[in-house]
Amino acid sequence: MARFSERQTMKNKHEENNFNLQNIVLPHNEEAEKATIGAMLLEKNAVYEVIDFLKPEMFYDEFLKSIYEAILKVEENSKVDLITVAEELKKTNENVDITRITLLTVNVCSAAHIKTHATIIYQDYLRRKLILSCAKTVSDSEDASVDVSDLIDNHLSNIENIVNNTIENETIPISSVVDESFEAYQERVKRVNEGQSIGVHTGLNRLDRVLNGFQAGSLNIIAARPAMGKTSFMLNIARKAAKRGHNIFIVSLEMTNVSLVDRMIIAESGIDSGNYKAGRLTSEEYELMIYGRERIASLPIEINDTALMTVQQIKSQAKKLKRKGKCDIVLIDYLQLIEAQHMKDRTKNNEISEITRTLKIMAKELSVPVVLLSQLNREVERRTDKIPILADLRDSGAIEQDADVVLFIHREHYYNDNANKHDGIVRIAKNREGMVGDVKFWVDETISDFRDEAPRNSTFVSGNYERDDDLPF
């Protein structure tokens, strides 16, 4: 069988010209394509051997591609054979060459080798995609106006799409899933016996007992109205999870990396944030700050504070860190600042939906939890009961739909001056794997530290209490 044919479709010719491949004939196997179509026309059930992974666009020959498209349409309502497929083709092309179609069955004795031939088509398709992707990268690399980082991200994204096409949609016997489930259970038991959390530490032990930490592959939304402390809560998660050995990746679209680190140093040191920012630390506070600074510097945390990042750029960064073993959880501040891929007639709801769906897929692919901060709409301000509900999620119902866990941060002191300013709740509004309800927390807003309860010394003075690792939490 000839590996390469002289005949090219206009589409492929166009692609070749665009990427300076005029003298290269892209991989394809005309004989395998003919044999695959012939087998499906010869035996009515042959299509079911390949339908799960063989797509029309994988055919190099446009005529054979059109036949396969007709076969798929016929298969939906009728039996596939020469007559039914020919009739389907006539709906779009009255001058279809029936004789040419008939000849496809002449050299096919049976459908016994259809999967082998279809696999050749599939592999050649991937080779073509790889060649075109690499050629485009080469071509773009010659343009000095193209940012190198964007070039690399685009190339990795294209390669990723090709890789995803290599995953066949195969069924799995339930027995193997049961075995996998039991292995996962044994791993959880092992982690518990070793004093480790099942998921990534949430920063609050009470919350961990409900969620079992942030779970691998999950999309977790943390939402609140402005000034409730979303960013501080996120940094609390990052700092305390990192101290337990988890590798943290923070994407900050609002604050600079220096501002984030300053907050973590203040929280770790227990020093007054006003004195720190004003450069008026006492000698005691200065010593505590140096100690906290060293602690924070040693934590496994990576930060990207690039403004206007797209969801694809975030995904690319997370994958790079995952390959290096430096990403156990992704924390993003915040959803509404992620740059969307603007398209004609695209609404804000559609953009948000695309972002949350992509992040959910990323969490599953990388097997890491994604924690995504989000703004709430103003409806909560108009209600007597100020505790947020799912309907308060801003911009899109897809946020609730795609999320595995939705957490709301609420501090009554924000609305009521008579309420204790240190008290707050995390409302678990959605939990795909467990219970919902309220978890209380205690916060020192002076140092942005969140805890399960107030320190043991009942008379609270900012900075005058033991650090986290001295507390039984």
Q: Which residues are catalytic?
A: 254
What's the one-letter identity of residue 37? I
Closest CA to 199 of 212, 181, 189, 217: 212
Dihedral in degrees, nearest 10, Cα atoms 312, 315, 316, 321? 160
CA distance 16 to 213: 50
CA distance 141 to 144: 7
What's the one-letter identity of residue 319? K
Preceding omega of 276 cis (within 30 degrees of 0): no
CA distance 327 to 433: 23
Closest CA to 425 of 222, 220, 272, 270: 222
> Residue 176, CB half-sphere, CA atoms under 13 Å: how many?
3
Burial 46-63 (b: 16+ CB within 10 A, else e): bbebbbebbbeebbbbeb
Phi first, then psi: what are they for 327, rounded to 5°?
-145, 100
Strands (E), 144-225: 219-224
Strands 370-375 and 423-431, how do they pair? unpaired
